C-alpha cells in the first residue's frame, strides 16, 4: 500500500491510458459492422485514434491538475470535473479529425468512447475512494471502535459521516441516523440508514450498544432540542452537539464544531427577542460606563453594549487581569474602530477615584455591576459585603447624581428578596439606595433583578464539572434546594432592554423560567458526561451552607408585578424609601464599619433593623417548605376531586347508555 501511494500518479496515469485504449476497442466493437474491426486498414485508423486520444486526454488531465487531487478526499465536484474534462478531450479529438481530415474512427465511435472513458474514469476513482475510506466489514476492524449514532439526517449529518469515515474510521463505527421525518426512515445517507425517530433512540442505543451520540441539527427550536437531548441523556451515551449556524459558518469543519452538551441546551427556552432599536437609541454615540466590567456579568455587558456603537465605553474594575482581558477581547474583535474603549482600574469604594473618572468621561448611562456576590464568603466577611456593596453603590450613585448621568442601572439579584444572608441583605439595601436617590435626582435610577446565571464566576456548574472530571463526588448542599437559572447573554440582553424602559425608581424583575433543582442539575451533568449518577459518580449531600435558603424568590411578597412591553420583563413596586430615612440607615452602617472586631451576630442584628425583610435562613426555609407543601396538598386534593367527578360522570354515562 505504501509503494502504491508513492507512485500514485504513475498508477493513475497508466490506469487512465488503459481505460482510453479499452474504451476505443469496446466502442469499435459496438459500432463497427461485420468483420471490419479485423481489417488492417481499420486497425491503423484505430491505432491513430488511440494514440491521439492518449495524448489529448493526458494533456488535458495534466493541464487541469487532476492528478494533484487526493483520491480519498475527492467529492462530487471533482467527479463532475472529470466528466467535463473527458467530454472536452473527446470534443478536441473530434474537431481535430474534422478540421484536418485525419484518419481517425467515425464521429459516432468517438462520442461513444468519450462517454465510456468519462464513466470509467469516475467509477474507478470512486471505487478507490470507497476502499480507502470504507468502514470494512471484518469483525476485527470494528474492535475498539466507538459505536456512533447521529441525530438528524440533513446536510450536516452527511458531512459528519464523510469526516468520520475519512479521518476517524478507526475511532467511530456509525450505526445509523435518527430523523423525525417519517418519509426519511429506512432510507440511506452516504451508506448509513435512517433507523427511526427520536422515540426510537433508547431502543437503538441499547440494540447497537451506542457509546456516542452526535446531535447534528443546527436549526432547531429550544423546546424540541431539549426534548431530544433529554431522551439521549437517558441512554448513558456521551453526547456531542453542533452549535448554531453562526458558529458553524465561522468554523467550517463540522467535527471541530461539535461540543459537549451544556445545561443551557436542556433549559428548553426559546431565544429571547429584543427591541434593538430602543437599545440602540439609548446607547449609540453615548458614553457608557460599566462598573465591575471585568466580571462575568460586567464583561458580557461590555460585549453587548459595544454592538450598539457607543461613542465611548469606560470599563471600570478593581481587578486588572479581568479588565485587561475584556479590553483585549473587544479590541481583537475590532470594536475599537467605532468605539473608544477605555479600561480604568479603580474601586467603587474610592469616592475620589470615581469622581475623577466621571468628571473626565461624563457618562450618559451607568451599569453598576460591581459587587461581592458569593454568599458563604460574605457570611464569613460581612463587613466587606457592606463596604463594597452598600457603600460602593452609595458612592457611585452620588457621583452619578453629581455629574448628571442620564440613567443609572443597578444589577441586583433574587437573593435581595426576603434575604437570608448578608450578601442578599446588602443587595436589597442597594435597591433601596437607588430608589431613594431617584426621588431627589434628575438621574433616572433603576434596578434589574435576576437569579443565577450559568457559567458566571461562583456558579455551581464549573464546580460540578471539576468534581466530575476527577471522578466525584459531586457535592449538593440539599436534595430539595432549588434555583432559577439563565444564561449570561440572556440576562444581559434583558438588562439592556429593561434599561431602555427605565423612567426611574423601578425594580425590573426578569422572567427566569422554571426553577431547577440543583440535585437534578448534578444528575444531568453526570449523565451528559456518559456516566451513571450514584454508580459511576456519587452525589453527596453536604448540608445547607451559612445563609443559604432552599428556594430563591424573584419578588417580595409585598410587591406587585406590572407587565412591560417585553414578555420577559416585569416591574415590581416595592415601597419607596425617603432620602432622609436612607441617610439614617447609611449612618448606622457606617458606624458598623468603624469597628473591624465587631461580631457577626451584631452585624446581622443591625442589618435586620435596616432591611426589615432580612430573616434567618432556617425561618425562611421552614416557611417556604410549608408553603410549598400546602400548595402541593391543594393540587393533590384538587386532582382527587377532579378524578372523582370524572369517575362519577363516566359511571352515569354508562348507566344512561344501558338504560337507552
pLDDT in tens, 560-598: 677 788 878 888 765 678 899 999 999 999 988 888 888
Which active-site residues does the annotation give? 415
pLDDT tens figures, 230-289: 898 888 888 888 765 444 444 555 555 677 766 666 666 666 677 778 899 999 999 999
CA of 23: how far to CAs of 47, 88, 98, 103, 590, in Å? 13, 16, 20, 18, 98
E-only strand ranges, 337-402: 340-345, 365-368
Q: Partners of 485 in the beta sheet?
A: 452
Please tell me the predicted confidence (pLDDT) of residue 249: 41
Mapping DSSP to helix (H, G, I), strand (E, B) and coil, where does residue 194 land?
A: strand
Write the pLDDT tens digit of every residue in 120-131: 999 988 888 777
The HSE-up count of residue 485 (CA atoms within 13 Å, CB side) is 23
Classify strands 188-189 and 192-196 as parallel, antiparallel or unpaired: antiparallel
How many degrees, rounded to 5, is the angle at CA 436 between CA 497 and CA 426?
80
Q: How confident is the model at residue 649 (pLDDT cuts 50, 70, 90)?
A: low
Beta bridge partners of 445: 408
Alpha helices per DSSP H over 571-616: 579-593, 600-610
Would you place residue 390 in the very low, low, confident or very high pLDDT band (cuts 50, 70, 90)? very high
Please name the helix (run of DSSP H) or strand (run of DSSP E) that holds residue 648, with its range, or none. helix 617-659
Q: SS3 for 306-369, per residue?
A: HCCCCCEEEEEECCHHHHHHHHHHHHHCCHHHCCEEEEEECCCCCHHHHHHHHHHHCCCEEEEC
Cα separation, 526 vs 524, whole angstroms? 5
Average pLDDT, rounded, for the chain: 82
292 pLDDT exceeds 90? yes
Distance CA 125, CA 6 (A): 17
More confident call, 319 vs 252: 319
CA separation, residue 126 to residues 71, 136, 161, 162, 441 (Å): 8, 16, 16, 14, 77
Are 145 and 169 a contacting pair, CB within 8 Å?
A: no
Amino acid at each position: 500500500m505504501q509503494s502504491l501511494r508513492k507512485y500514485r500518479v504513475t498508477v493513475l496515469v497508466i490506469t487512465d491510458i488503459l481505460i482510453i485504449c479499452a474504451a476505443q476497442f469496446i466502442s469499435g466493437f459496438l459500432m463497427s459492422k461485420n468483420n471490419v474491426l479485423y481489417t488492417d486498414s481499420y486497425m491503423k485508423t484505430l491505432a491513430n485514434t488511440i494514440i491521439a486520444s492518449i495524448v489529448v486526454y493526458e494533456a488535458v488531465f495534466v493541464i487541469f491538475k487532476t492528478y494533484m487531487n487526493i483520491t480519498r478526499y475527492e467529492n462530487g465536484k471533482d467527479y463532475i470535473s472529470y466528466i467535463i474534462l473527458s467530454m472536452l478531450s473527446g470534443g478536441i479529438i473530434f474537431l481535430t479529425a474534422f478540421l484536418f481530415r485525419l484518419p481517425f474512427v467515425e464521429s459516432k465511435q468517438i462520442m461513444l468512447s468519450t462517454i465510456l472513458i468519462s464513466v470509467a474514469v469516475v467509477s474507478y476513482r470512486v471505487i478507490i475512494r470507497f476502499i480507502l475510506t470504507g468502514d470494512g466489514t471484518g469483525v476485527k476492524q470494528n474492535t475498539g471502535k466507538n459505536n456512533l449514532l447521529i441525530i438528524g439526517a440533513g446536510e450536516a449529518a452527511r458531512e459528519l459521516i464523510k469526516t468520520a469515515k475519512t479521518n476517524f474510521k478507526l475511532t467511530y463505527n456509525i450505526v445509523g441516523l435518527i430523523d423525525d421525518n417519517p418519509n426519511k426512515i429506512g432510507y440511506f445517507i452516504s451508506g448509513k440508514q435512517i433507523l427511526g425517530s427520536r422515540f426510537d433512540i433508547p431502543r437503538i442505543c441499547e440494540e447497537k450498544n451506542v457509546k456516542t451520540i452526535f446531535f447534528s441539527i443546527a436549526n432547531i427550536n429550544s423546546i424540541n432540542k431539549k426534548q431530544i437531548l433529554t431522551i439521549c441523556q437517558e441512554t448513558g451515551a456521551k453526547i456531542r452537539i453542533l452549535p448554531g449556524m453562526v458558529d458553524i459558518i465561522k468554523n467550517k469543519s463540522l467535527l471541530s464544531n461539535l461540543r459537549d452538551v451544556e445545561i443551557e441546551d436542556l433549559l428548553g427556552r426559546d431565544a429571547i427577542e429584543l427591541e434593538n432599536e430602543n437599545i440602540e437609541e439609548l446607547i449609540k454615540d453615548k458614553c457608557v460606563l460599566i462598573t465591575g466590567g471585568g466580571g462575568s456579568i460586567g464583561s458580557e455587558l461590555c460585549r453587548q453594549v459595544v454592538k450598539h456603537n457607543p461613542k465611548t465605553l469606560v470599563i471600570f474594575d478593581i481587578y486588572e487581569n479581568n479588565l485587561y482581558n475584556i479590553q483585549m477581547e473587544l479590541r481583537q474583535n475590532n470594536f475599537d474602530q467605532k468605539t473608544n474603549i477605555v479600561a480604568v482600574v479603580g474601586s467603587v469604594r474610592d469616592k475620589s477615584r470615581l469622581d475623577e473618572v466621571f468628571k473626565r468621561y461624563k457618562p450618559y448611562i451607568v451599569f453598576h455591576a460591581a459587587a461581592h456576590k458569593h454568599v458563604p464568603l460574605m457570611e464569613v466577611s460581612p463587613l466587606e459585603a457592606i463596604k463594597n456593596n452598600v457603600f460602593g453603590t452609595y458612592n457611585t450613585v452620588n457621583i452619578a447624581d453629581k455629574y448628571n448621568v442620564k440613567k443609572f442601572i443597578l444589577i441586583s439579584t433574587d437573593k435581595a428578596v426576603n434575604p437570608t444572608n448578608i450578601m442578599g441583605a446588602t443587595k436589597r439595601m442597594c435597591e433601596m439606595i437607588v430608589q431613594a436617590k431617584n426621588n431627589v435626582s434628575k438621574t433616572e435610577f433603576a434596578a434589574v433583578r435576576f437569579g443565577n446565571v450559568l457559567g458566571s464566576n461562583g456558579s455551581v456548574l464549573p464546580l460540578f464539572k471539576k468534581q466530575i472530571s476527577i471522578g466525584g463526588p459531586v457535592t449538593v448542599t440539599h436534595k430539595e434546594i432549588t434555583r432559577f437559572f439563565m444564561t449570561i447573554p440572556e440576562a444581559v440582553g434583558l438588562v439592556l432592554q429593561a434599561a431602555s424602559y427605565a423612567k426611574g425608581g423601578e425594580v425590573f424583575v426578569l422572567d427566569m423560567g422554571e426553577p431547577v433543582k440543583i440535585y437534578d442539575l448534578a444528575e444531568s451533568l453526570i449523565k451528559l458526561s456518559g456516566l451513571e449518577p450514584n454508580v459511576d459518580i456519587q452525589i453527596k449531600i453536604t448540608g445547607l451552607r451559612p445563609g443559604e435558603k432552599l428556594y430563591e424568590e424573584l419578588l417580595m411578597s409585598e410587591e406587585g408585578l406590572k407587565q412591560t412591553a417585553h414578555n420577559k420583563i416585569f416591574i415590581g413596586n416595592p415601597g419607596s424609601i425617603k432620602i432622609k430615612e436612607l441617610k439614617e440607615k447609611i449612618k448606622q452602617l457606617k458606624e458598623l464599619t468603624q469597628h473591624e472586631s465587631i461580631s457577626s451576630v451584631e452585624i446581622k442584628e443591625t442589618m435586620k433593623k435596616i432591611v426589615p425583610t432580612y430573616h434567618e435562613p432556617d425561618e425562611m426555609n421552614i416557611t417556604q417548605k410549608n408553603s410549598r407543601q400546602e400548595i402541593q396538598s391543594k393540587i393533590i386534593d384538587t386532582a382527587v376531586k377532579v378524578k372523582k367527578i370524572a369517575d362519577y360522570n363516566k359511571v352515569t354515562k354508562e348507566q344512561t347508555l344501558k338504560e337507552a
